[in-house]
Amino acid sequence: MRATRTGWGLLAPTLIILGFVGIVPFLYVIYIGFFDWDIFAAKVGMVFAGVNNYRRLVFDSEYLAALGRTLQFMIWVVVSELILGFVLAQLLTRNFWGRSVFRTIHALPLVVAPIAVGATWRLFTIPGFGPLPYYLDKWFGIEYSISRYAGHAFTTIVLMDIWHWTPFVTLTLVAGLTSLPKEPFEQALVDGANRWQVFRYLTLPLLTPVLVTTTFIRIMDALRVVDEVWMLTGGGPGTSTRFVGLHIWLVVFPKTAYGYGAAMSLLTLYFTIVLSWLLFIAITQSGRQTAS
């Protein structure tokens, strides 16, 4: 190993930026989480509350419900996007006429701002003014209202997220697939392996790092989603699409409960980390089995 000074030197700018703009605010959030800080409370200012915020969170039914909904959402969305993205990535590695056109179209949702995605889908699905409910009613007699029925709202949000983020999965998997070394595959064909065996014992394991990265990113982002959901349903009908990211946003901004919001964020982060850790173990375990 070469002079570690060069190593630290290369790493330094990154560390400085992340330290100042990332870690310092993070520490401040941890600090605030131990206080009662409601901007418009009768007792002004920050009042030390120890772990009271966290204790309240454990019994906060709204928060727990939001977590539950978000988990549901996340599972639906990540599984769908992984499967769809993988299939599409496979298709994209083959060469066919019009491939780059399709690839560009497919990646289009990624370059639309989440707030615009929410706004567009809202205009598309709003009862009374939008085409989707109108034509569903006119052609199929189905009453579709995202502001009335929780199920409709949830399904629409899942679809919207799949629409928006599958290209992300596709692109990263394409990068992964194209970076795979060729010899193992050539060797496998020579050895007479069929498509399924190649997939199961070669592609999947070799692709695992990229798959894991992509899955984790999607999980983290799904657990953090705010703008799109806010634009589309505001968390409604009722609170049926109030996911935890949106819930925290509502607690911090309009409700101006800074201390409680900080604690909530940290607790949510903790859950996210635990979840990711469990998944990581699960994947590497199964990976170990496959390798043998």
Partner 1 sequence: MASRPLRKTLSGVGTYLVWIFMSVFTLLPVYWMFVVSARSRVELFGGPNLIQTTFFAENYLKPLSSSTYRGYLMNSLIIATSNAVLVMILAVMATYALSRYRLKGDENIFFWTITNRMAPPAVFLLPLFLLYTRVIKIGEWSLFDTHIGIILVYCVFNLPFAIWLLKGAIDGIPAELDEAALVDGANTFTVIVRIIVPLAAPTIAISGILSWIFAWNEYLFAATLTSVNARTITTGLAEFVTVTGTNWGQMAAMAVVAILPGLLFLSLVQRYIVTGLTFGAVKE
Partner 2 sequence: MKARLLTILGLIVVLSMLFTLSGSALAAQPPQQEGEDWWAKAAEPFKGVTIRGVSESTPPSKYAAEVLAPAFEKATGIKVEFETTSWDQMYDKEIKDMEAGTGVYDFVYIEQDIVYAYLDRKFLVNITQMMKDKPELVWPGYNPNAFTSFVDYFKDPATGDLYGVPMEAFIKVYLYRKDLFEDPEIKAAFEKEYGYPLAPAVNHKQYADIAAFFTKWGKDHNMELWGTTVQANTGHPSSFYEMFETILPSFGVYNWGINMDNWKATVANGGTMNSDRAKEAFAFWVGMLKYAPPEATASTWDEVAATFAAGRAAQGWVYGENAAWIATDETRSKVVGKVGVALPPLYAGVLEDKVLRNKGYIGYYDGGAYGIPHSSKNKEAALLWLQWIARPDFQVDWAIKAARVTETATFDDPRLKEFDKKVDGYFTLLKEKGFLFAGAPPFPFHATIREVIAPFIYKGITGEMSTADALDQAAAAVDAELVRLGYGK
- Say whether residue 158 binds partner 2 (CB under 8 A): no
Chain residues 12-71 in contact with partner 2, contact rule CB under 8 A: 38-44, 62
- Say whether residue 199 binds partner 1 (CB under 8 A): no
Contacting residues for 113 by C-beta, under 8 A, at least 6 apart: 227
Integer Cα distance of 45 and 35 in angstroms: 9
- Say whether residue 211 binds partner 1 (CB under 8 A): no
Per CB under 8 A, the segment of 57-65, 188-196, 246-254, 278-286 that binds partner 1 is: 246-254
Nearest to 85 by CA among 186, 182, 217: 217
* Residue 150 binds which entry of partner 1, partner 2, none, CB below 5-8 Å type-dependent: partner 2
Q: Interface mask (CB under 8 A) for partner 1, residues 247-286, using x and -?
A: -xx-xxx----x--xx-xxx-xx--xx--x----------
- Say whether residue 106 binds partner 1 (CB under 8 A): yes
Write down the residue that tokens 């590695």 correspond to.
93
Of the CA atoms within 13 Å of residue 183, those in its CB half-sphere come to 0
CB 73 within 8 A of CB 243: yes
Number of chain positions touching partner 2 (CB under 8 A): 34
**C-alpha distances in angstroms, 91 versus 18, 62, 77, 196, 209?**
38, 43, 21, 16, 20
Q: Contact with partner 1 (CB under 8 A): which of 117, 146, 157, 229?
A: 117
Rounded to the nearest 10°, the torsion over CA 34, 37, 38, 43 is 120
Number of chain positions touching partner 1 (CB under 8 A): 97
Residue ranges binding partner 2 (CB under 8 A): 38-44, 62, 126-129, 133, 145-148, 150, 233-239, 241-242, 250-251, 253-257
